[in-house]
Amino acid sequence: MKETNFSEIAARYDQNEFRSEEILRDKRLKAYIETHSRSSYEILDLSCGTGLYLAHQMKEFKDSYINWHGLDASEQMLEKALTRLKNVPLVHGVAENLPYRSASFDYIANNFAFHHYLHKHQALDEIHRILKPGGVYYMHNISVDRMPLWWLYHYFPSAQIEDQKRFWDKEMIYDQLKARGFKVDLQIDYQLSEVKIADYLNHAENRDISALTLISEDEYQKGLERMRFDVQGDPESTVVNDFAELFCVAEKI
């Protein structure tokens, strides 16, 4: 399995407006706070990247007494996070060896990151270890096994091959969490529609989507040329696109 070099894309990572749109108010965290009365809460953003999730949730939950924490494997991403986050402990580390004491956190958010972990079984062991009993692990990701018609795979087919190596399917995620003693609620939000190619060209050109960093330069340039050719031929041209978003809430029993 290849690894994304986030040091190379950290500078342009936030230029993708979809990232800001994805990080809305965390309704799973809201539900947890409403059903678990605590004098304070310890919340970890696992693989926090440039701090988008933390910055937004800190505003949304400003009336709750929460101690926020962030961890990421990329120093360059953490440097960007430091520019938008004040008084939040940000730690350089990996999910497979979390530098926290056992039973430290009430809630762990893990947005669009689990597929990057080289040793996923070990990462889940660590997540279970640092959660308090009754604590929640929330995984938010895409479900690539349900989206073979994604526009990205249409133009960059080798990216699909790489993603199949990186992503667990929903059954594997569910089974592995259950095996560790979690109570699991997993949902898939699926969409199938036609999308304008022109709306996604800049995302391909920015090359901040991790799958595009894993394919060869030749394959990348060929796909980019096909996109540009289609847009130049007809700026309104479309492609059939499916997208599957995964939401998994796992409570430590």
- β 105-111/238-252 pair status: unpaired
Low-confidence ranges of the chain (pLDDT < 50): none
With the C-alpha atoms ordered 187, 171, 133, 141, is the resulting torsion angle positive or negative? negative
CB 188 within 8 A of CB 244: yes
Q: What is the pLDDT of residue 9?
A: 61
Outline where the chain has alpha helix (H): 6-9, 17-22, 27-35, 52-60, 75-84, 120-130, 151-155, 157-166, 170-179, 198-206, 210-214, 217-233
Q: What is the pLDDT of residue 35?
A: 96
Helix (H, G, I), strand (E, B) or coil at 54: helix
Q: What is the pLDDT of residue 25?
A: 81
Number of residues assigned to the chain:
253
- Note the pLDDT tens digit of each residue in 114-162: 999 999 999 999 999 999 999 999 999 999 999 999 999 999 999 999 9
Q: For residue 182, how many C-alpha atoms fall within 13 Å in the half-sphere facing its CB?
A: 27
Reading the block at residue 109, the tokens are 């958010």
Q: What is the pLDDT of residue 1?
A: 73
Residue type present at position 177: L
Q: What is the pLDDT of residue 4?
A: 74
Reading the block at residue 101, the tokens are 């004491």
List the domain boundaries for the chain: 6-252
Q: What is the pLDDT of residue 247?
A: 97
- Of 121, 165, 219, the closest CA to residue 1 belongs to 165
Q: Does domain 6-252 have CATH number 3.40.50.150?
A: yes
